[in-house]
Amino acid sequence: MARSILPAYLEYTEDLQAEPYGSGLINTTWRVYNKDSAYILQKINADVFKDPVKIASNVRMISDYLRHHHPDYLFVDPIKTLENKDLAFMEGDGFYRLTPFIKGSHTEDVVLTAEVAYEAAKQFGRFSALLDGFDANKLFITIPDFHNLRLRYDQFKTAIKEGNQKRILRAGDQIDFIAANEPIVDQFDAIRANPDFRIRVMHHDTKISNVLLDEKNKGICVIDLDTLMPGYFISDVGDMLRTYLSPASEEETDFDNIYIREEIFEAIVKGYLSEMRSVLSDAEKTSIVYAGKFMIYMQAIRFLTDYFNDDTYYGSSYPEHNFNRAANQIDLLSKLIEKESILDTLLQKFI
């Protein structure tokens, strides 16, 4: 199937090979190559992204802006089809996009060192800083209410009333924890009402695998812009904190392996603020630790909500999968809250 879409982009495809690439769970990705050239081909998941044309439009607007205002920035532009379209469409199958493979680049799946955390945070910060002059409201919303914590909390409460009652009884301690930390939701509401928190161009998916690194693990640029939308800085910083701070992923069931690495926190803050210090307001900069609480709390809610709703969104590999994911994130949040004052003190060194 991957090879059959290539003639929409390339006049000669006979000697091209295609192999699965990367660890992404949403889109299907291949590396397409021959001895002279290499590309990344992706099939866009239409179950998650209902209107792929909006994604392509957002990427085109950002590409045009960066080319005009910051021509030295390496932006991985999608290749247009032979009919000059941003996406290729295959009837009965869906939308595809093709981008050049950046020679000498690689991605990581886990943050192992503070140096890599710094490079990733710097790249995400640079991307937003360069786009500070772009009107974020021009962008299409590719996933409505993606990081709307108030809505996610309301969905959680609805699931408690209407969901699988056996599973709800199983999760009594987790429900109590979420309810006890509802002030995290209240603070999100306060942020939305505070003019010191600007709507900006945000990536919204700042996991480590969405940064290209060179052979020396220096950052090159950010990739995977499906969730590029207007948003608050807490989305990007919060997702970095959620996915970088602990060496254990959200799939870990041995919670002894979940802990907060202070050196990684420092690296994230130092890297991000090296690009965004003059862009963020004082109120935003002092909310960096909250950003981590915001994102971890929201992900715990989403996993638990899906568990109550019989795994209709994330799916599961075994019956308690989403319960364990939620418990994992609750443990991570508890450990972040335990270190909150320490992290706030570390933050002061950089703002």
3-state SS of the chain? CHHHHHHHCCCCCCCCEEEECCCCCCCEEEEEECCCCEEEEEECCCCCCCCHHHHHHHHHHHHHHHHHHCCCCCCCCCECCCCCCCCEEECCCEEEEEEECCCCCECCCCCCCHHHHHHHHHHHHHHHHHCCCCCHHHCCCCCCCCCCHHHHHHHHHHHHHHCCHHHHHHCHHHHHHHHHCCHHHHHHHHHHCCCCCCCEEECCCCCHHHEEECCCCCEEEECCCCCCEEECHHHHHHHHHHHHCCCCCCCCCCHHHCCCCHHHHHHHHHHHHHHHCCCCCHHHHCCHHHHHHHHHHHHHHHHHHHHHCCCCCCCCCCCCHHHHHHHHHHHHHHHHHHCHHHHHHHHCCCC
pLDDT for the residue 1: 63
pLDDT tens digits along 148-200: 999 999 999 999 999 999 999 999 999 999 999 999 999 999 999 999 999 99
pLDDT at 22 over 80: no
pLDDT in the model for residue 25: 60
Higher local confidence (pLDDT), 92 or 325: 325
- pTM for the model: 0.93
Please report, rounded to a whole number, the percentage of residues in the chain having pLDDT higher than 70: 99
